[in-house]
């Protein structure tokens, strides 16, 4: 259940970050592809900095100057996808969703025209692949999984065509790698359905292709890097490469909540609790201060409190850990839901260490009364059995 949930959430994030242009310093690349455009690079930099209003203004100027180029319309959709995923939970999705859908249709219409002109065929196919990915995102938002599959297949086909036309356009490997990887980790029935649609499933090759885009992509370096941060903070075990990548992205984009949050998660998974805790403290502080885009539907003050509780507990400060777990337990409208049973379980484990078996038993029983997540119920039952004979 966890892997499926994680995979679906990361597919959403992958579509969010699948932007075929980037703001990395062009001087760092020895060979610029003919498609490089400084204005689009500036737009992407603004998106990564989560300066969405400034990005939208520049996108509007680009579309006015290049009304028959699909890039501007795609970036408008990309900016809206950032707003959709970073919106507060109580925000009405309707207006954003409608605007997102209009931008998708605009991009596809212009990209289809571009793909039929010899001089712009590659760009047309490139943005058709990108925008079909965004359409798949719209279907995912609406939980229309059977609608999403053929849209994703269209994106896959266009990615394949661009790689045949220009195998050294490394940004295309980002899209290919994401499909290869995520299909490989989804439950077997979904994998079989994907194979019927003609997708390729390869976990290791998928990761390798995403890394290739992160290292050599002209336009997708940062987006591919963020995707690797997402993958290695939840599913794969992060290594020195990923930690260094996350550190550099955080240094470059310290106000991007996704980068900020996931860098902490990578340090947490690498057991570097003393380094992770200050990052989570900073995220929690920004959420409390209503910093732009930090109060969103992806994470909350409660998920940060839980992470801090884990950091403090593993660093030997059980009092601070208990304070964080109690904060989660006492909260109202807590999300994500799993942090509540997780906090009860962690509190019970701390109390067992203190030989406070009566209170620990109460905590573990609370875990069993809540929905299961990962192996929480199994762990709680095992601990209850272990302390069953304790007074």
- Reading the block at residue 153, the tokens are 């297949």
The boundaries of the domain holding residue 257 are 2-263
Q: In this predicted structure, what is the pLDDT of residue 64?
A: 97
pLDDT for position 95:
92
Among the candidates 245, 263, 281, a domain finishes at 263
- Shared domain for 166 and 246, answered yes or no, is yes
End of a domain among 235, 263, 291? Answer: 263
Instruction: Output the domain CATH number for residue 320.
Output: 1.25.40.10
Residues 325 and 244 in one domain: no
Residues 19 and 119 in one domain: yes
- Tell whether 200 and 255 lie within a shared domain: yes
pLDDT per residue as tens, the chain (391 positions): 334 444 444 444 444 444 444 334 434 444 567 778 889 989 989 999 999 999 999 999 999 999 999 999 999 999 999 999 899 988 888 999 899 999 999 999 999 999 999 999 999 999 999 999 888 877 876 778 778 888 888 999 999 999 999 998 888 999 899 888 988 887 777 777 777 777 788 999 999 999 999 998 877 889 899 999 999 999 999 999 999 999 999 999 999 999 999 999 999 999 999 999 999 999 999 999 999 999 998 899 999 999 999 999 999 999 999 999 999 999 999 999 999 999 999 999 999 999 999 999 999 999 999 999 989 999 999 999 998 755 4
Considering only CA atoms, give the Rg of the chain.
Answer: 22
Residues 315 and 382 in one domain: yes
9 in any annotated domain:
yes
Statement to judge: residues 228 and 339 lie in one domain: no
Q: Is residue 269 part of a domain?
A: no
Q: Which one, of 139, 154, 124, 149, lies nearest residue 20 by Cα?
A: 124
Q: What is the pLDDT of residue 6?
A: 43
Whether 293 maps to a domain, the answer reads: no
Q: Kindly state whether residue 186 falls inside one of the protein's structural domains.
A: yes
Predicted TM-score (pTM) of this structure:
0.88
Q: How many angstroms separate the CA atoms of 140 and 137, rounded?
A: 5
Final residue belonging to a domain, choices 206, 236, 263: 263
CATH number of the domain enclosing 96: 1.25.40
Indicate if 232 and 334 belong to the same structural domain: no
For 242, the token pair is: 């990923």
How many domains in the chain? 2
On whether residue 284 sits in a domain, the answer given is no
Per-residue pLDDT, 55: 97
> Tokens 């290594």, residue?
239
Domain for residue 46, yes or no?
yes
Question: Please, what's the b/e burial string for 56-71 (b: 16 or more CB within 10 A of its CB; e: otherwise)?
Answer: bebbeebbeebeebbb
Regarding whether 101 and 51 lie in a shared domain, the answer is yes
Instruction: Let me know whether 86 and 158 are in one domain.
Output: yes
Task: Answer yes or no: are the C-beta atoms of 180 and 203 closer than 8 Å.
Answer: yes
- Does 238 lie in the same domain as 311? no
Measure the CA–CA gap between 335 and 390, rounded to whole angstroms: 34
User: Does 123 lie in the same domain as 234?
Assistant: yes
Give the span between the Cα atoms of 144 and 285, in whole angstroms. Answer: 36
Q: What tokens were used for 297?
A: 């539907």
Is residue 170 assigned to a domain? Answer: yes
Tokens of 56: 């939208």
Residues 236 and 319 in one domain: no
- Does some domain include residue 84? yes
């Amino acid at each position: 259940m966890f892997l499926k949930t994680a995979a679906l959430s990361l597919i959403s994030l992958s579509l969010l970050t699948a932007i075929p242009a980037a703001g990395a310093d062009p001087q760092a690349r020895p060979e610029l592809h003919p498609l490089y455009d400084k204005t689009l690079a500036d737009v992407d930099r603004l998106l990564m900095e989560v300066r969405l209003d400034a990005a939208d203004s520049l996108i509007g100027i680009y579309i006015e100057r290049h009304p028959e180029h699909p890039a501007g319309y795609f970036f408008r959709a990309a900016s809206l996808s950032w707003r959709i995923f970073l919106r507060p939970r109580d925000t009405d999705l309707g207006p954003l969703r409608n605007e997102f859908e209009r931008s998708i249709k605009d991009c596809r219409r212009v990209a289809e025209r571009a793909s039929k002109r010899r001089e712009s065929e590659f760009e047309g196919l490139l943005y058709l692949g990108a925008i079909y990915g965004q359409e798949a995102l719209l279907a995912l938002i609406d939980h229309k999984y059977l609608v999403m599959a053929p849209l994703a297949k269209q994106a896959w086909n266009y990615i394949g065509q661009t790689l045949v036309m220009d195998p050294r356009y490394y940004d295309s490997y980002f899209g290919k790698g994401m499909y290869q990887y995520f299909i490989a980790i989804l439950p077997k029935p979904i994998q079989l359905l994907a194979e019927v649609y003609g997708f390729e499933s390869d976990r290791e090759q998928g990761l390798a292709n995403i890394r290739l885009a992160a290292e050599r992509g002209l336009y997708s370096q940062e987006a591919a890097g963020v995707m690797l941060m997402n993958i290695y903070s939840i599913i794969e075990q992060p290594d020195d490469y990923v930690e260094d990548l996350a550190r550099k992205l955080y240094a470059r984009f310290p106000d991007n909540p996704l980068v900020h949050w996931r860098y902490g998660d990578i340090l947490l998974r690498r057991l570097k609790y003393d380094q992770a805790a200050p990052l989570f403290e900073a995220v929690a502080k920004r959420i409390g201060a209503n910093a732009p885009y930090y109060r969103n539907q992806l994470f909350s003050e409660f998920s940060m409190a839980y992470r801090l509780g884990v950091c403090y507990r593993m660093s030997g400060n059980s009092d601070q850990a208990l304070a964080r777990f109690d904060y989660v337990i006492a909260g109202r409208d807590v999300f994500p839901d799993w942090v509540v049973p997780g906090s009860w379980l962690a509190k019970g484990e701390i109390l067992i260490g203190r030989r406070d078996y009566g209170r620990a038993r109460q905590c573990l029983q609370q875990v069993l009364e809540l929905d299961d997540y990962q192996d929480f119920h199994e762990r709680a039952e095992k601990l209850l059995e272990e302390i069953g004979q304790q007074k």
